[in-house]
Chain A
């Protein structure tokens, strides 16, 4: 894989499941290297379907996904996914340390190096004191930190996060958002982050893509929020951006309802 890539480009992407309706139609998306791209959309709009295609878990019905000019095929360690399903994404028979090391076995021969690399990643997410615990002994937030460490260890081109904090309580969720923001500022890893939460997107993103409600979701808008590095939900600029997105999504939902009305 080319390590000098500049952007991940999704063009004309369509997805229709066998004998199902069209979920995504003609999606174009460009993620620059180092960007924090939030994909924002209502539930059921096809956000997970979109990232499953990018991750290579599903094959598109049409269109392409490529790092510059080299198309992606199937899942691989250049696009590691952090899943929403807190209870099932980790390997419960392995300790925190072993979970974090898991993917390195195929790529790093030296056992001690695997250990140090995993420990570095665990330090980044603040879990270097819990390396011998099993996932069943961790809180939801800690489990998601292990997932993030397990992904970071692979040094992927893109870290794909599909609503990673959606199942956490509100306080933990907010803390995780700021921690992730801090992590991103330190590592400048390219992130594709899926959410249905407007403030979450505005706290984290350098780029926001808004999906219309499904079925047959398309991209409504892609924009840079143009907010300062330190995001504050009480900041007037933040509130203004929030309103703008809300209006956009509200408009979409009305249109979706109208569409469904016609179909009946």
Chain B
């Protein structure tokens, strides 16, 4: 049954991608000049060239490294913060709106202050990605803790659990599905933050590739960068879904 759903999704996705490509191919050179929107064929040739020269792989490698570490750090910090804030009764009412506000602050607006505080090395880049992931995962985890039904806690207490046992035998498993969802949303935010982070100083990476090719008017390369970013972003989420859905002990926590 789930396999059937996935197959249908794949068919629909393939069709919509092919349609998009067709529209693009027709529009380029007719509706829009090829300088502004290069033909798919030119983009493909550019991609092949940059793949052969190694620049594309090197850019992807460095961007994935940043997103991966930034996201992982943000997830760990977010789970810890979310559990702590969720457990402190009454605090969530005060802290919740602050985090909703932070979620709305676009990562790119943090670039100048990050440069000011941490210079232009790898650290501020990782921190921007980690920061936004942290906000997203914190909110989600905190919500999870707050939503644990009162009777579930009471049931555990009269079955003889201590407060500490209630935390790890009830609150953690009850919150797991919220954490998993927060981590997934965090992936999207991490990629948005990645591009912002790679605007910091001249360097390498997919975000840098996009910016740099604009300065040099290499539109095919720019499109290669944009598409790579999209593929990496959705690919990461697909990978995440595949891993979490295929892990039997995780599927328990989706049951409500």
Contact = CB atoms under 8 A, between A and B. Distances in A.
Interface of A: 55-57, 74-77, 79-81, 83, 85, 88-94, 102-103, 106-107, 134-136, 147, 150, 154
B173 A77 contact: no
A91 B151 contact: no
Contact of B173 (A74, A91, A150): A91
Nearest to A85: B151
Contact of A88 (B152, B253, B255): B152
B1 interface: no
B114 to A, nearest CB: 39
Interface string B147-163: 00101101111111100
A89 B159 contact: no
Given A134-B255, A136-B255, A102 B151 contact: no
Contacts of A93: 173-174, 176, 252-253, 255
B170 interface: yes
B171 to A, nearest CB: 12
Contacts of A88: 149, 151-152
B256 interface: yes
Interface of B is mostly: helix
A185 B156 CA distance: 27
Interface in B158-185: 158-161, 165, 170, 173-174, 176
B158 A92 contact: no
B255 A81 contact: no
10 tightest Cβ-Cβ pairs between the two chains A and B: A103-B159, A88-B149, A77-B160, A75-B157, A93-B252, A75-B158, A85-B151, A83-B151, A92-B255, A136-B255
28 contacts: A55-B158, A57-B157, A74-B157, A75-B154, A75-B157, A75-B158, A77-B158, A80-B159, A81-B154, A81-B158, A83-B151, A83-B154, A83-B155, A88-B152, A89-B155, A92-B255, A92-B256, A93-B173, A93-B253, A93-B255, A102-B156, A103-B159, A103-B160, A106-B160, A134-B252, A134-B255, A150-B155, A150-B159
Contacts of B159: 77, 80, 102-103, 150, 154
B154 A57 contact: yes
Interface of B: 149, 151-152, 154-161, 165, 170, 173-174, 176, 252-253, 255-256
B239 to A, nearest CB: 24
Given A89-B151, A91-B170, A135 B160 contact: no
B30 to A, nearest CB: 55
Most buried by A among B149, B154, B253, B256: B154
Contacts of A83: 151, 154-155
Given A79-B158, A91-B173, A93-B252, 10 more contacts: A55-B154, A57-B157, A77-B158, A81-B155, A88-B151, A90-B155, A91-B170, A93-B173, A93-B174, A102-B156
